[in-house]
């Protein structure tokens, strides 16, 4: 990554004036044609951050119609820029589509994005997997589901698409029929059964859902530990959202009993991550270290930059 692009990446976007935004967009867009794939991907990410989130207009509260029109033009410009570059760099549009997993579902952007996504799928451009466009369409449209059971997409043959469906359900407060921020235990049972049969939905669901308050109605750590202990196969490797393994390492941080269960379930890697999440001197790290130092190759020698049991505290 060259110094000029690094400076563009580090630009404090919240300080830009309207004129500076124009210049910044133009400079960053030039890097969509860069020879380095990582630089191109970073340029896409920065442009999406600007268009779908960071850019603020003066007097925005006074003329909402003008603001929405400006945002629609920005979104259309971004789509034109990335698609025109895609013929030379086939990684551009997949990068954009993956990025739509986190951006762009706020009004008025779906008005621009949804017709484009449907047209993109109809054209079936080389190098653009349909599952990426379909998953983006699910998330941008804010999948709403009030039918019985779960939507058909939860059984989609693509792990990517079903992960997007699960995340969209979480974002839409699916499973909270009372609207009180508490997850229905019956929904937990259904999601667990599906996850055990075919992993890949509970992690994205929890990534998207809003039940992160003090009382979500369930114990998420107990829920996910139970799944990890009972599942027969790992989560799909292509998930863009955080999976159960990631959530558990955070939820189990500082919890020696949970870490022990992870180790006994054969997930030493997650156990180590949970043990060191709060630092080498946490009370969870010491009992784990006492067990692991007996192994021929102690885990800290190859993970997390630890080279000696002396980092465990006294």
Give the three-state DSSP class for 122: helix
pTM beyond 0.75: yes
Residue 215 resides in a domain: no
Contact predicate 208/176, CB 8 Å: no
Q: Measured between alpha carbons, how far is 250 from 259 in angstroms, rounded to an integer?
A: 11
Residue 244 resides in a domain: no
Residue 116 resides in a domain: yes
Report CA Rg, the chain: 22
Contact predicate 121/140, CB 8 Å: no
Residue 84 resides in a domain: yes
Closest CA to 48 of 1, 16, 13: 13
Q: Measured between alpha carbons, how far is 27 from 4 in angstroms, rounded to an integer?
A: 10
Contact predicate 190/202, CB 8 Å: no
pLDDT by residue (tens digit) across 27-69?
Answer: 999 999 999 999 999 999 999 999 998 998 876 666 888 889 9
Residue 14 resides in a domain: yes
Query: How many domains, in total, are found in the chain?
Result: 1
Q: Measured between alpha carbons, how far is 97 from 94 in angstroms, rounded to an integer?
A: 5
Residue 310 resides in a domain: no
The parent domain of residue 79 ranges over: 1-141
Residue 293 resides in a domain: no
pLDDT by residue (tens digit) across 6-34?
Answer: 999 999 999 999 999 999 999 999 999 99
Residue 150 resides in a domain: no
């Amino acid at each position: 990554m060259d110094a000029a692009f690094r400076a563009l990446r580090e630009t404090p976007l919240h300080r830009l004036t309207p004129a500076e935004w124009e210049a910044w967009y133009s400079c960053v867009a030039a890097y969509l044609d860069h020879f380095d794939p990582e630089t191109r991907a970073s340029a896409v990410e920065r442009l999406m951050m600007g268009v779908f989130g960071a850019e603020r207009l003066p007097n925005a509260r006074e003329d909402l119609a003008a603001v929405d029109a400006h945002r629609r033009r920005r979104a259309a410009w971004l789509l034109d820029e990335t698609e025109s570059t895609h013929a030379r760099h086939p990684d551009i549009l997949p990068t954009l589509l993956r990025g739509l997993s986190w951006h762009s579902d706020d009004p008025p952007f779906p008005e621009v994005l949804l017709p484009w996504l449907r047209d993109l799928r109809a054209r079936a451009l080389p190098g653009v997997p349909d599952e990426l466009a379909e998953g983006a369409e699910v998330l941008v449209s804010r999948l709403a589901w009030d039918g019985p059971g779960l939507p058909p997409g939860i059984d989609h043959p693509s792990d990517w698409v079903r992960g997007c469906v699960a995340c969209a359900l979480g974002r839409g407060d699916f499973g909270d029929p009372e609207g009180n921020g508490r997850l229905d235990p019956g929904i937990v049972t259904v999601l667990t059964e599906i996850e055990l049969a075919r992993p890949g939905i509970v992690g994205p669901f929890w990534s998207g859902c809003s039940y992160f308050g003090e009382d979500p109605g369930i114990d998420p750590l107990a829920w996910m530990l139970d799944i990890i202990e009972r599942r027969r196969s790992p989560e799909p490797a292509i998930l863009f959202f955080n999976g159960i393994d990631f959530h558990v390492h955070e939820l189990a941080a500082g919890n020696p009993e949970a870490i022990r269960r992870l180790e006994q379930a054969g997930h030493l890697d997650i156990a180590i991550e949970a043990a060191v999440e709060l630092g080498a001197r946490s009370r969870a790290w010491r009992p784990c270290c006492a067990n692991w130092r007996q192994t021929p190759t102690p885990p800290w020698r190859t993970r997390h930059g630890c080279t000696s049991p002396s980092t465990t505290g006294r």
